[in-house]
């Protein structure tokens, strides 16, 4: 009986100690969890806010660049082409912005869901829309626009239009994005406290090997062969998107980045104009999304959007930004087809093409309206996920 009492007392002591420890741990979690929840929700809110807006201006820039038709250069329209070149240089961030958004939002996906869910979402949000739009627009061009012969309506032809982006060359970008999506899971399992340092290292490594060195070689007439042009060069924007989204730059650093962005735009603008007018053909030395001027311009403007997005929210209600930002993939896929359709009505096209900004905004608006309608129809919802 005596030993039984001692054992009971010892057991109670252990239980009490264990319980008190457990309670203290739970209290700690409870106290800190509220902080963690707030931080996460604030970060998520911040990402949603400016990323949605970044997607909108990126999607509009894609439309504007193609309405602008930078490639339309000849002896007769040199003055018009100079204006086209200005617009092209200013809005050249269009495609890089999409990739920057991917980096800002997906390099920590493992904190929200697993690898299986990640692949499922990429399949639904990228692969299915690409497949669906290719098929629908292919049929539209065959039966409505009639600029693809009906004789080509067989499986191998549709297959080639999809995988070789024969429908529109811009679809090549999405195939590059798919490759980039496949590489992201390799990057997310780097320890969170080491990510900024490691991603910064790879950003500058890619900037050097894919942007700076090829750019310098080009300036000296491409007399040296550079063999390290990688198909995964777009990862530079993935790393940049994450760094810009998660790192707080000092005031001086922001000013330097903005100045580099402005200088890069000016160099691209004047460099392309001077060389093109000199050789009487379009010279692309300062163009290319992995070229140094494009990387600096896109990253600096992305940082600017992140820092000063709050000013936009004073003019536009956030719910409209979220709504438009959720369907920006629609204009990316269909704007060429809308442009082709509008061009069939010559008088109307002349009416809206008096100004490039208005013309591109009209095409963009049509695409957005169609996308919002499709999003409400269950059968076509996969086209604008």
pLDDT in tens, the chain (385 residues): 444 444 344 434 333 343 343 444 344 333 333 323 333 334 444 446 899 999 999 999 999 999 998 888 887 888 899 999 999 999 999 999 999 999 999 998 988 888 999 999 988 888 888 888 888 888 888 888 888 777 777 777 777 766 666 667 777 777 777 788 888 998 888 888 889 999 999 999 999 988 888 888 888 777 777 777 776 778 999 999 999 999 999 999 999 999 999 999 999 999 999 999 999 999 988 998 989 999 999 999 999 999 999 898 888 888 899 999 999 999 998 998 999 999 888 888 888 888 889 999 999 999 999 999 999 998 888 889 8
- The sign of the torsion formed by the CA atoms of 227, 230, 233, 239 equals negative
Alpha carbon 223 to chain centroid, angstroms: 34
At residue 93, the pLDDT reads: 94
CA distance 337 to 79: 28
Residue range(s) defining the domain that contains residue 186: 2-383
- For the CA atoms of 93, 99, 101, 104, what is the dihedral angle to 10 degrees? -120
Cβ neighbours of 343 (radius 10 Å): 12
At residue 211, the pLDDT reads: 86
The answer to whether residues 66 and 340 touch, using CB atoms and an 8 Å cutoff, is no
- How many domains are there within the chain? 1
Alpha carbon 51 to chain centroid, angstroms: 9
Q: What is the DSSP letter of 345?
A: S
């Amino acid at each position: 009986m005596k030993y039984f009492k001692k054992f009971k007392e010892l057991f109670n002591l252990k239980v009490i100690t264990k319980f008190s420890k457990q309670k203290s741990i739970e209290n700690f979690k409870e106290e800190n969890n509220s902080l963690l929840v707030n931080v996460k929700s604030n970060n998520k809110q911040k990402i949603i806010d400016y990323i949605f807006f970044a997607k909108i201006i990126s999607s509009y820039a894609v439309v504007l660049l193609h309405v602008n038709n930078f490639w339309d250069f000849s002896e007769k329209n040199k003055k018009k082409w100079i204006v086209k070149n200005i617009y092209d240089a200013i809005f050249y961030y269009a495609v890089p912005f999409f990739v920057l958004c991917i980096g800002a939002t997906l390099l920590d996906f493992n904190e929200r869901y697993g690898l299986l869910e990640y692949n499922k979402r990429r399949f639904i949000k990228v692969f299915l829309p690409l497949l669906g739009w290719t098929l629908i627009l292919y049929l539209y061009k065959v039966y409505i626009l009639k600029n693809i012969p009906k004789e080509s309506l067989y499986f191998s032809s549709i297959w080639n239009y999809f995988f070789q982006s024969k429908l529109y060359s811009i679809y090549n970008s999405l195939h590059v994005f798919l490759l980039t999506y496949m590489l992201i899971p390799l990057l997310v399992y780097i320890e969170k406290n080491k990510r900024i340092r490691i991603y910064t290292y790879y950003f500058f490594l890619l900037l050097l090997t894919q942007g700076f060195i090829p750019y310098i070689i080009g300036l000296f007439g491409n007399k040296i062969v550079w063999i390290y042009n990688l198909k995964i060069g777009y990862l530079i924007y993935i790393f940049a998107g994450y760094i810009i989204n998660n790192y707080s730059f000092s005031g001086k650093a922001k000013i330097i980045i903005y100045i580099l962005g402005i200088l890069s735009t000016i160099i691209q603008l004047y460099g392309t104009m001077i060389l093109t007018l000199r050789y009487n053909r379009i010279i692309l030395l300062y163009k290319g999304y992995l070229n140094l001027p494009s990387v600096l311009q896109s990253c600096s403007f992305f940082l600017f959007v992140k820092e000063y997005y709050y000013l936009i929210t004073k003019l536009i209600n956030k719910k409209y930004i979220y709504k438009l930002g959720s369907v920006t993939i629609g204009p990316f896929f269909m704007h060429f087809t809308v442009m082709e359709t509008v061009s069939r009505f010559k008088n109307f096209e002349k009416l809206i093409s008096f100004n490039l900004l208005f013309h591109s905004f009209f095409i963009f608006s049509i695409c957005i309206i169609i996308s919002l309608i499709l999003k409400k129809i269950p059968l076509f919802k996969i086209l604008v996920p």
